[in-house]
Amino acid sequence: MRKLKLEELGRVGVDDFKSIDKIPIVVVLDNIRSAMNVGSFFRTSDAFKIEQLVLCGITATPPHKEILKTAIGASSSVEWVHITDVEAALRALKSRNYEIIGIEQTDQSQDMSSYVVDTSKKYALVFGNEVKGISDQALPILDVALEIPQYGTKHSLNVSICGGIVMWHFAEKFL
């Protein structure tokens, strides 16, 4: 066994990546306070061919140095936009027929493992602030709230780890 060299991985370049079809998933970051978490979302979005990142509220935007550090170039390949008002961002996505999925622990959350991803739909996956979660303005707009089952003593995962799990769960159905 040997590790593959970068050139053996067969990855496309940034220009080619921008022109290939993406999966119909938009990731919405609602007031993410850590730019390193934002950079991780860029990198994971690149890995799974996510259509777009929507950065809302206080969420840092490129070319923030901590985003660049963790994104490792993905801030150049992944389409992104900053919209200050998360409610406006979600309403715009809903008007374009995206199902709005919040990743949050609520009194109506469904276990993500039992949620059936319909590949004929478009999804907006909403991830909230590391301390406060999804904002109160965004909650009423959600079509569904999902949560990742957890079996230890902690009540949550790091938001970028959560993002990776959820994006993979959705992306694998489309890819």
For residues 97-129, one letter each, b for 16 or more C-beta atoms within 10 angstroms of the residue's C-beta and e for the rest, the string is ebbbbbbbeeeeeeebeeeebeeeeebbbbbbb
Burial (CB count <10 Å: 0-12, 13-18, 19+), residue 137: middle
DSSP state of 105: -
Tell me whether residue 10 is in a domain.
Answer: no
Does residue 67 lie within any of the structural domains?
yes
Could you give the number of structural domains in the chain? 1
Whether 8 maps to a domain, the answer reads no
What are the tokens at 140? 């009423």
Taking the model in full, what pTM does it have? Answer: 0.97
Q: Identify the bridge partners of residue 27 per DSSP, sorted by sequence position.
A: 53, 125
Domain holding 66, by residue range, is: 20-149+156-174
Torsion sign (Cα): 85, 89, 94, 96: positive
Give a yes or no: residue 166 inside a domain: yes
Is residue 4 assigned to a domain? no
Contact, 169 vs 112, CB < 8 A? yes
Question: Which CATH number is 162's domain given?
Answer: 3.40.1280.10
7: in domain: no
- 137 falls within a domain: yes
What is the reported pLDDT for 34? Answer: 98
Phi, psi of 146 (to 5 degrees): -120, 150
Q: Is residue 9 part of a domain?
A: no
pLDDT tens, N- to C-terminus, the chain (175 residues):
999 998 899 999 999 999 999 999 999 999 999 999 999 999 999 999 999 999 999 999 999 999 999 999 999 999 999 999 999 999 999 999 999 999 999 999 999 999 999 999 999 999 999 999 999 999 999 999 999 999 999 999 999 999 999 999 999 999 9
